[in-house]
Amino acid sequence: MRKIALLTSGGDAPGMNACIRAIVLTSLRYGLEVYGYRHGFNGLLEQEYLNLRAKNVANIIQRGGTILNSARCLTFKSDDAAKVAAKNLDILGIEALLVIGGDGSFRGAKHLANHWSGQVIGLPGTIDNDVDGTDATIGYYTAIETALDSIDKVRDTADAFERIFLIEVMGRHAGFIGLNAAIASAADHIMLPEISRSCDDELENILAHIEAVKKRRGNTSYIVVVTENLWPDGVTSLAQILTEKTQIECRPVILGYVQRGGSPVSQDRVLATKLGAFAVEAALEGKTGVMVGEINQEIVCTELENSWLQKKPLDPYLVKIQQDLFDILKRP
Site stretch for a second copy (CB under 8 A), options 26-34, 196-204, 224-232, 283-291: 26-34
Q: How far apart are CA 163 and CA 246, in angstroms?
A: 10
| Cβ closest to a second copy, residue 8 vs residue 306 | 8
Site stretch for a second copy (CB under 8 A), options 104-112, 188-196, 203-211, 261-269: 261-269
| Cβ closest to a second copy, residue 18 vs residue 120 | 18
Q: How far apart are CA 273 and CA 38, in angstroms?
A: 20
296 binds a second copy, rule: CB under 8 A: yes
Q: State the sign of the Cα–Cα–Cα–Cα dihedral 103, 108, 111, 116.
A: negative
193 binds a second copy, rule: CB under 8 A: no
Q: How far apart are CA 122 and CA 7, in angstroms?
A: 10
Site string for a second copy, 269-288 (x = CB under 8 A): xx--xx--xx----------
1 binds a second copy, rule: CB under 8 A: no
| Cβ closest to a second copy, residue 234 vs residue 289 | 234
Residue type, position 240, single letter:
Q
- Our CA angle for 4, 8, 10, nearest 5°, is 145
Binds a second copy by CB under 8 A, chosen from 134, 137, 146, 302: 146
Catalytic amino acids?
128
214 binds a second copy, rule: CB under 8 A: no
Binds a second copy by CB under 8 A, chosen from 229, 287, 321, 323: 321
Binds a second copy by CB under 8 A, chosen from 50, 229, 310, 326: 326
| Cβ closest to a second copy, residue 217 vs residue 305 | 217
| Cβ closest to a second copy, residue 113 vs residue 145 | 145
Q: State the sign of the Cα–Cα–Cα–Cα dihedral 256, 257, 258, 263.
A: positive
Q: How far apart are CA 48 and CA 41, in angstroms?
A: 10
267 binds a second copy, rule: CB under 8 A: yes
241 binds a second copy, rule: CB under 8 A: no
148 binds a second copy, rule: CB under 8 A: yes
Q: How far apart are CA 112 and CA 79, in angstroms?
A: 8
Residues 58-117 that bind a second copy (CB under 8 A): 58-59, 61-65, 69-72
238: Cβ–Cβ under 8 A, 6 or more apart, which residues?
166, 226, 231, 250, 252
Site stretch for a second copy (CB under 8 A), options 88-96, 103-111, 203-211, 292-300: 292-300
| Pick from 327, 93, 68, 285: nearest CA to 190 | 327
47 binds a second copy, rule: CB under 8 A: no
CA R_g for the chain: 22
Residue 18, strand partner residues: none
Listing from the earlier edge strand, what are the strands of the sheet with 290-295?
A: 49-51, 33-37, 3-8, 96-101, 119-124, 290-295, 298-303
Binds a second copy by CB under 8 A, chosen from 1, 50, 299, 300: 299
C-beta of 252: minimal distance to a second copy in Å? Answer: 6
257 binds a second copy, rule: CB under 8 A: yes
| Pick from 44, 49, 143, 155: nearest CA to 89 | 44
331 binds a second copy, rule: CB under 8 A: yes
